[in-house]
Amino acid sequence: MELQLGLIEQSFNGRYSVWVRDALDELGDSFVITDPCISGHPIVYASSGLLKMFGYSKDEVIGKNGRMFQGPKTNRRSVMEIREAIREEKAIQVSMLNYRKDGTPFWMLFHMCPVYSKEDGNVVHFLGVQVPILGKTRRYGSEVVGNGLNFCEDGNKFPETVFGCCRREVSSDTVMELGRGFALDLLLNSDDRDIEVDEPCEASDLEKRKATAAVNSILSVLIHYSQMTGRLVCGKRCCLPATGLLSASLNISLGRIKQSFVLTDAHLPNMAIVYASDAFLRLTGYTRDEVFGRNCRFLSGMNTDSATQSQIKECIQAMQPCTVRILNYRKDRSSFWNFLHISPVRNATGKVAYFVGVQIQDSCSIQEKGELSPEMRHLSVVAAVKVAVRSSSMMSASTS
């Protein structure tokens, strides 16, 4: 848990200057920033506007997946559209029924887009903006109700949020003029008992423009404060991803595998590491940035057996799996015996794309009853990695 929190803090604080949080909170919008490279694709930043809208504290949101805002009536098709956009690393706008902490539902427009590294074109974060949909038009006697405002016979108007399926017979830019804070107050102070959760709700053009404007404002802040750290981001892919960098969807799939392993790219110089699991980081004491781009030999030390290293090299050259017991070293230079299994990983075309290395700390403890043997644990990780890689490469081929 401490490692996960450390990765989350590093994900955001390591890329932007310390003043970025104050600048983002001044915007007043409801949004989250997530990191697809961390196991579970967690939220690494939540705006004060979002916390107010959903009724959560920051500690209750940071580190959680965005699924926490969904509920029993959330449309599964909308969820699948978001997952597909993450896989394809593209922007999306979709109307969704979400739930506050107290369980009350409300309709919102969700606008998500990737945030790219300007250096290598890889997706480093996803930005998700939530704009409340203020309701459909209804007529009560002599009152026409629309967009959260009641228009009476005398032309005067007073705020009253009405939720529903959101077909819009009357549209006005008045809400935009009232400002973000007032619209949020309308949402928070409304009576949710009349919400129609089973009928799809469409956002107005006004709400779509508002979401797009919020995204542009947030990206401007992120770009500005990334310049201060030298780790620049951009809202559009400034260059093609370098060969071997993993897609966001593959990062998420690999993040579900809880054992210690690394993935190296067979086509990069020196068989560079392109993925390291959280369990590997816990075992070795390194951070993800300290691991990426290096060869696995960096774990070797003064007493590592050179004959074992040669055996590993020969198996890799022959594209064959191997299992060895090798002395490795952590970041603090303490040593441990590593029961290591290395296996080639082929993509959907059958070509070797990666090698996976699975580490199990070798000890003299007796295997507990019902626990998988080290060999079976090796094979289970390899199988899971192969499924993730092949699925990702098949989906990439189908969309190219």
**CA–CA gap between residue 44 and residue 33 (Å, rounded):** 6
- Same structural domain for residues 221 and 272? no
Contact 110, 96 (CB under 8 A): yes
Q: Tell me: do 353 and 326 sit in the same domain.
A: yes
Number of compact structural domains in the chain: 2
> What is each CA distance from 220 to 23, 115, 203, 217, 227, in whole angstroms?
11, 11, 25, 5, 11
Q: How far apart are CA 324 and CA 24, in angstroms?
A: 50
- In-domain check, residue 52: yes
- Specify the DSSP element, H or E, that contains 324: strand 322-329
Give yes or no: residues 24 and 107 share one domain: yes
Q: For residue 352, which phi and psi values (nearest 5 degrees)?
A: -70, 120
With respect to residue 362, please indicate whether it lies within any of the assigned structural domains: yes
- pLDDT given for residue 320 in this prediction: 94
Instruction: Specify the pLDDT at position 153.
Output: 36
Bridge-based pairing of strands 261-265 and 352-361 is antiparallel
Q: Is 133:140 a contact under the CB 8 Å cutoff?
A: no
Same domain, 100 and 221: yes
Q: Quick one: pLDDT at residue 390?
A: 86
Q: Residue 374 falls within a domain, yes or no?
A: yes
Residues ≥6 apart with Cβ < 8 Å to 259? 277, 279, 358, 360, 377, 380, 381
Tell me: do 212 and 257 sit in the same domain: no
Q: What pLDDT, on a 0 to 100 scale, did the predictor assign at position 122?
A: 83
Please, how many CA atoms are within 13 Å of residue 145, restricted to the half-sphere of its CB? 15
Q: Cα 248–83–224 angle (5° rounding)?
A: 55
Task: Say how far apart CA 248 and CA 324 lie, in whole Å.
Answer: 32
CATH number at 115 reads 3.30.450.20
Phi and psi at residue 134, to the nearest 5°: -85, 0
Residue among 36, 62, 66 nearest 48 (CA): 62
Residue 179 in domain: no
Query: Is 153 domain-assigned?
Result: no
Q: Is the same domain home to 6 and 30?
A: yes
pLDDT of 185: 54
Are residues 80 and 220 located together in one domain of the fold?
Answer: yes
Verify that 216 and 340 share a domain, yes or no.
Answer: no
- Residue 180: CB partners within 8 Å, gap ≥ 6? 28, 29, 49
Does the predicted model carry a pTM greater than 0.85? Answer: no
Q: Output the tens digit of pLDDT for each of the chain's 400 residues.
A: 666 677 788 888 889 998 999 999 899 899 999 999 888 899 999 999 999 999 999 999 999 999 999 999 999 889 989 988 888 788 999 999 999 999 999 999 999 999 998 887 888 999 999 999 986 433 333 333 333 333 333 444 434 333 334 433 333 444 444 445 545 555 555 544 455 566 668 899 999 999 999 999 999 999 999 999 999 999 987 765 554 567 888 888 898 999 999 999 988 878 889 999 999 999 999 988 888 888 999 999 999 999 999 999 999 999 999 999 999 999 999 999 999 999 999 987 788 999 999 999 986 444 555 678 889 999 999 999 999 988 877 665 544 4
Q: Name the β-bridge partners of 344.
A: 355
C-beta separation of 281 from 291 below 8 A: yes
Is 318 a domain residue?
A: yes
Domain that holds residue 343: 248-399
Half-sphere CA count of 61, side-chain side, radius 13 A: 24
Tell me: do 224 and 366 sit in the same domain: no
Say if 175 falls within a structural domain. no
Please check whether residues 7 and 33 belong to one and the same domain.
yes
Do 80 and 215 belong together in one domain? yes
| Residue 229 shares a structural domain with residue 283 | no
Instruction: Point out the domain boundary residue: 209, 234, 259.
Output: 234
Three-state DSSP state, 292: coil
**What pLDDT, on the 0 to 100 scale, is given for residue 120?**
76
Q: Where are the alpha helices (DSSP H) in 41-162?
A: 48-54, 58-61, 76-88
- Residue 144 placed within a domain: no
List, as one string, the DSSP characters of 54-70.
Answer: HT--HHHHTTS-GGGG-
